Structures are given as structure tokens and as C-alpha cells.
Structure 1
Amino acid sequence: MTNTEIRPFRIDVPQVDLDDLQARLANTRWPRELPGLGWSRGVPTAYLRRIAEYWQQTFDWRAAEAQLNELPQFVTEIDGQEIHFVHVRSAEPTARPLLMVHGWPSSFVEFTKIVGPLTDPVAHGGRAEDAVHLVLPSIPGFGFSPLSGPGWGNLFTIAGGFAEIMTRLGYDRFLAQGTDVGSGIVGMLPMVAPGRVIATHVNGPSPYPFGPALSLDGLEGGERDRAERFNTFREDGAGYLHIQATRPQTIGYGLTDSPVAQLAWIVEKFAEWTDPKNELPEDAVDLDQLLTNVSIYWFNQVGVSAAHSLYEGMQAYKAFAQPAEDQSWDAGAGGWEPPPAPPSAVAVFAADLTVRREVDPTGAHARWTEYDRGGHFPAMEVPELLVADMQEFFRAQ
């Protein structure tokens, strides 16, 4: 019998785990650092020592935990996989459901600043008609959704699981928004739940990272700049993805045994992927919010499971990205044909590597907006811009 029960969930990290974190941070064996390199070969030791000391001596996990527990949280089991999610219902009678999906190296913590403006816009200077019932799931392998086994990193599988959560919550039709891996999951939702997705919104979709370098011919302005930065990323910034997409278990030992390794693994991306106008990660995002996210990775030992999830996702993506002549399911071959896509929107922020010619060659998106601020984590960096962009688009759907 399928268990469709939805159970309340509360975060409660054992004190022994907090004590263990403190001890490991205090006893870190720091690597030697060659002088004069800055960030060119990874996170500088002096910088990471300062952030690790703040994590150990100043950051208050119990305060962060209490703040997160103010959000209504739940877990439900789908095909043997427990999935954690936040579900905040709006008091506005016309509110519509919105599913928002985080990416890597993130969690539902990424969205905490925008819960209020989305579910209670009037209290934040907005319109009642923009209110939504908000559902924030933890991708299997991330956050409080411990990976039950192989198979749940496939984006189609995850999308199907999230659609099932919306069914169990009584939401027949819903809006969807995603970032990073979450944007891929959101893109699959209309296929696994045809007719149920009202509209989709994603931010910062990138060209295929394991594909060839992009041609710059015909590109100008922002498009050319993003293409050039993408080509640099392929050569100099995708090492983390190659490792996780090929040897997730091996990198998992360091991420599970050393909190400083987990910290560096995440902080590097907040340094490289946030608004380039900001020199350091804490200039772009709130440091306590960043460390709350890192702490969840550490306490739940999901550095390795998130890597396994990315491994499976990239394997599925590689198969999906093969040339059309290698596929047997396209409409021309008389096979499966995707259902009509709902209206969709893309928001591109300053640090993104989005090149429209590559990710939207036919101009299928109904709305395409580019900003000169923000980056890969807009809900943390420029929450007001992300909320406004979503609300303006969803309002018309």
C-alpha cells in the first residue's frame, strides 16, 4: 500500500553534533598556502580561517534553527524516498500555489527572505492579487531529504515526486519557479504533470557545461560578455561539476569528515557566482544565512548525497542532450510527443552565464528579463528584484 501521509517536521540537531562541529573546527589541519595567489587557485586559507572562526565562535545555530522552525515544515514518502518541504499558506483568498525549487550548493534556506513578500505581499508593500501558497521542497539528497538510494537524482523522477507533493496538498494546478538544478526540475514539470502547471519562471539557465565552447560570432553586448564568461567557466570553473558528475563518493569523504572542506566547497561558489561587484561572499549575501545553509549540509551529511544526486542528474542530462538522430522518442519517429508548454519566463542576473541563443533559440519564453545586479542566488542577493520579476509575470497568467 502506498503511504501518502504528510507528517509535521521540526529541525532539532542533537547537541552532541554541535559539540562535534566545534571540536572539528577547532582542530582543523590548515593547508599551507603559496603567497600572492589570492582566489586564483581556490579559496585563500586566510579568508577561510576567518569564516571558519566566525562559524565556530560567533554563528548561532540554535538561533538559526529556531528561525527555520517558524516555517511550517513537513515530510512525506514517495516511492521509498522521504521528501522534506516547507508549506506556507497565504491568508489571501485568491492566493495560488507556487512550487519553488532550489539548486546546488543550496537548500530551501535560500528562499527564507522571500517567504513573507510572496505569501503576504500586502504586508510588504505589494498587491493582494500576487499572494501565493508557497511550497519549498528539499531536492532528494539535499537538506532534510536524505537520499534513499540510486535513481532519485534523475530530474524527471524528482519532478514527478514534486508534482505528487502538490497533489497530496490538494493543489490541482500550480505555478513553478526554479534556480540552477531547480530550473531543470521545473522544466520537466509540464511533461510529468501535463495541464497542471499554470506557468514557469526560472533564473539563470546556463548552456550545457560539458558541451563545446560557444561561438562568439554574432553576439554583442551582454550576450557576448556572458558567452565569454561561460567559455572561461568551462575551462577554469567546472572542476567541481566534473568531480561530482564522475566520482561523487570519493569527494564525499572530505565533505563528510571535515566541516572546513564542506565550507570551502560551498563558499567558493558564493564567491564566484554572486554579483561580481561584490568582492567577498559576505558582501553579496548575509553571512549567517550562508552559514545556516552550510550547517545543514554538515549536520545532515548531505555533501555526498547532493554529489550523488548531481551525478545522476548529469548522467540523465547527457543522455537527453544526445543528437536528435540518436533518439527514438521524438515526434518525427512516431514516438512520444511532449505536451504543450505553459507560459514561461527567464530572469537573468549580473553573474549569470545565460546566453539566449543557446538556451532559448526559438524564443519560446514569453518573458525574458536581464538585470545588472545579482547572481546565481537572487533570493539571497536581490530578493526584491526576484520577487518583483516573478509577480509581474505570474500576475498575467
Structure 2
Amino acid sequence: MTTITPFRIDIPQTTLDDLQRRLTDARLPAKLPGDGWDTGVPVSWLSDLVDYWRTEYDWRKVEQQLNQFPQYTTEIDGQQIHFLHVRSAEADALPLLLTHGWPGSFIEFVDLIGPLTDPVAHGGEASDAFHVVIPSLPGFGFSTPVASEGWTTERIGRAWAELMSRLGYERYGVQGGDIGGSVSPEVARADRERVVGVHVNGGPAIPPYPLPDEELATLTPLEQDRVARVGAFMQEEFGYIAIQSTRPQALAYGLVDSPVGQLAWIMDKFREWTHPRATLPDEIIGRDTLLTNVMIYWLTGSAGSSAYVGYAQGGAWGAKLGNSGVPTAAIVFAHDVGIRRYAEEENTIVRWTDVDQGGHFAALEEPELLLADVRAFFRTVRG
């Protein structure tokens, strides 16, 4: 099965009417003492966002905007894969494969399509142009349902290599963050003869934790802070991974049945992982974008499958991987925790940029900084 089929988003009106009913009839929990973020998403904040979703958010407008981009589906290794494929008008454009993470979607990259494919119109040079391919991870969005188990980052990397082959690309680059930051180096391992460069935001590897005191002492203050934040994450935030990687089906019943539950589950992470943390996520990214991302999960009922694919990986954290030898660049924003020396153990790092602003959702929070770094890196490997 190598057929590539044009795809258009066309959500039935009955589905949108059902969402309206559920939002209108939603039963919110009582506020816990203080109604703060330490115990989860505050009722006062979420109820206001739910009202906006119900009364002002316009999915049909968004759907029309998304359908302006060429979209397709194809079957790879038994799995339906949805992707956007936007070619540049520049003859020498380099194909670039962009991979999102959880709880994101292809929506993360939509606003970068124009600057990537038409750099001259967005303050760049024609020589910076890319043909853009943005797949939805297996089990996410319109790449559903999950057809089989075992969709590790390694297997996804092989699938992405096959996708680029079907599109006829002999040389291409890869970029991603979160799960995409792990998948992108795997594409290079699977297709090292054709991948000219790997670019990730956040770092291609989480530093080991805990570290011996003597090793910790050799790190810079910035790196020590990142290790400390890994520790804080393991103590304060790891619960969602424990649930999603062990009981994704049990979790899915609540999230697929309740749009408010799905919204709260995702908004908790957008608040924790955007920067600065004290600023509300809708003030950093914007309500419509946040809700569109949530809509991709809600409309496709993919809460369980995205959890299953995203975190039920076969290998444990820290498993050693082979180095593809492909030039690799990383930009690490203020929220993230990548450390170069550990990334270099299994990646050929040729560019490393630490930034004192921005969070985990780089393409949504700091698109200009991300774009500039992507352009700068791929200039060195296009030749």
C-alpha cells in the first residue's frame, strides 16, 4: 500500500452540535482550597476558557484555514498516516520534515509554513526555502486509529523515512521537539544516506537523573539548574506519564467523553511547559490556537491512542542508541533541559544554542527564534 490520497478536514455538523451540547451541560468540579495551579487547572480559569470555547471559538473558520494547506493520507506499515505537504516555489528548496509531540499536533507548525516555504515574503533569502512535510504521529489526530502496537520512536523514524521516499525526496532535513525531538534523530538513523541534517528544540536527549555529586559538580550553573528541574519534574509532574504509559485506555474513557476533561488534561501541560510559568498559557499562545490543538484531539477521539503511542515505548529512558553521524543542531529554550555533553553521546552535535526565553512549545511560543535557528543550521548542510 503506497497510495497517497488527498485529504480534506470535513467534520460533520452533528459532531460540532454534540460538542456544543456537552460544553453547555458540562459539570465542573468544586474548587479546591485556593483554586491554584498546584493542584491542577483552576476551575475559575478553565470555566472562563470553556465559555469562550462554547460561545466565541469558530471551528468552521479554522477548518477552512487548515484546508488551504494540501493534506494527504497514506498507509505505512499498516498505519494510516495524515500529513501536510506544502512545496516551495523555489527550485532549490530543501525538503524539511517537521514532527510534533504530545500534547501537541500538526497545528504547532502551521504558522511556520509560510516563512519556511516562502522566505523572501517573510524576511529571509530565497536560498533558505524548504518544501515542508508535517505528518501527524501515529495515534494522533487524523493518523488514527492505531492499527498495531509497537509504535516506538524508532519505528516512527523508519515510517517517516518511507514517507519521504514516497514523496520522491532524495535529500532532506528533519526537525522536531518533544516526541518529535526523539523521532527526528531516529529518522536519521534509519535513513542516514539521505538525511542531511537533524534539528531539534529542547535537546535530542534528557540528561540522566540522578547524577552523582562529583559529576554534578563538573556541570555549569545552567546545566545544574536543568538537572535540578529534571528532578523536580520527576517528583511533581511524572504522574501523567505513569498513567498514560500504563493505563491509556482507562484514561481515554474520561477524556474522549468529556471535552472539558480533555481540555483540562492538555491545558495543565501548556501551563507547566510554557515560559514564563507564572504567565497564563492563553496569554503566551492565544486561546484560539490552544483550542484548535485541543479540537484535533477531541474531534478524532485520540486521547487514548496518543497516550499509548506517545509514552508506551519499548525502551527505558537512558537506553543507548547508535550515532547516525548526521550533523545535528539543538536549540534549548528556557523551559527545557537538554545538556550538550549527554546529547553528544549518541548524536553528532555541530550546533548548540541555549536561549534564556521561551518554553517547550517552541514553534508556538518563539517562532521567530526557532525559524532563525533552523535557517542558520540548514545553511551549513544544504550543499
- Bucket of the pairwise TM-score, normalised by the shorter protein: over 0.9
SS of residue matched to 1:149: coil
How far apart, CA to CA, are the structure 2 residues paired with 1:111 and 1:351? 19
- One-letter amino acid of the counterpart of residue 132, structure 1: F
The answer as to whether partners of 1:190 and 1:339 remain within 8 angstroms in 2 is no
Aligned length: 378
1:213 partner amino acid:
P
Counterpart of 2:355, as a letter, is: Y
Give the distance between the partners of 2:332 and 2:54, measured in 1 at CA.
Answer: 35
Contact 1:176–1:201 at 8 Å: present in 2 too? yes
- Does structure 1 retain, via aligned residues, the 8 Å contact 2:153–2:182? yes
1:1-397 to structure 2, matched below 5 A, reads 3-205=1-203, 208=206, 212-215=209-212, 216-276=216-276, 279-313=279-313, 316-318=314-316, 321-322=318-319, 338=322, 340-361=324-345, 364-397=348-381
- Determine if contact 2:146/2:305 at 8 Å carries over to the other structure: no
Query: 1:158: how far off?
Result: 1.0
1:227-279 deviations in whole A, cap 9, x for unaligned?
21111011001111111111111111111111111101111111010112651
- The answer as to whether partners of 1:153 and 1:311 remain within 8 angstroms in 2 is no
Distance 1:15 1:185 in 2: 35
Q: Is the 8 A contact 1:177 1:201 kept in 2?
A: yes
In structure 2, distance between residues paired with 1:37 and 1:28 = 19
Tell me the distance in 2 between the aligned counterparts of 1:178 and 1:395.
Answer: 18
For residue 366 of structure 1, give the secondary structure of its aligned residue in structure 2: strand
- 1:4 CA displacement: 0.9
Q: Quick one: distance in 2 between partners of 1:298 and 1:205?
A: 29
User: CA 1:175/1:44 → structure 2, altered by over 3 Å: closer, same or farther?
Assistant: same
* Structure 1: stretches of 5+ with no match in the other structure: 325-329, 331-337
Moved more, 148-157 or 100-109: 148-157
Take 1:201 and 1:81, find their aligned partners in 2: how far apart are those partners? 26
Cα shift at 1:35: 2.3
The answer to whether the Cα contact below 8 Å between 1:177 and 1:202 also exists between their aligned partners in 2 is yes
| TM-score, normalising length: structure 1 | 0.91
**1:327 corresponding residue in structure 2:** none
Distance 2:318 2:148 in 1: 21
SS in 2 for 1:276: coil
Rate the CA distance shift 1:35–1:108 in 2: closer, same or farther, 3 A: same
Please list every run of 5 or more consecutive structure 2 residues that lacks an aligned counterpart in the other structure: none
Q: Which moved more, 1:189-198 or 1:174-183?
A: 189-198
Once the two structures are superposed, residues 51-75 of structure 1 have per-residue CA deviations (whole angstroms, 9 ceiling, x without a partner) of: 1111111110111111111111000
Question: Distance between the aligned counterparts of 1:206 and 1:367, measured in 2?
Answer: 12
| Distance across 2 between alignment mates of 1:195 and 1:339 | 13
Alpha-carbon distance, 1:100 to partner: 0.5
Letter in structure 1 aligned against 2:39: R
After TM superposition, give the deviation of residue 206 of structure 1 in Å. 7.1
SS at match of 1:97: strand
- 1:152 positional shift: 5.0
Distance in 2, Cα, partners of 1:68 & 1:120: 18
Aligned CA RMSD, in angstroms, stands at 1.9
- What per-residue deviation string (whole Å, max 9, x for no partner) do you get for residues 96-124 of structure 1? 10001000001100001111110000000
CA distance in 2, matches of 1:31, 1:199: 48
Change (3 A) 1:214 1:16: farther
**Contact 2:174–2:184 (8 Å) recurs in 1:** yes
| Contact residue 344 and residue 367 of structure 1 kept, 8 A | yes
Q: Which amino acid in structure 2 is aligned with residue 86 of structure 1?
A: L
Distance 1:363 1:18, change over 3 A: closer
Contact persistence 2:333–2:354 (CA under 8 A): yes
- The alpha-carbon distance between structure 1 residues 195 and 66, as it changes in their structure 2 partners (threshold 3 A), is same
TM-aligned CA distance change 1:213 to 1:207, over 3 Å: farther
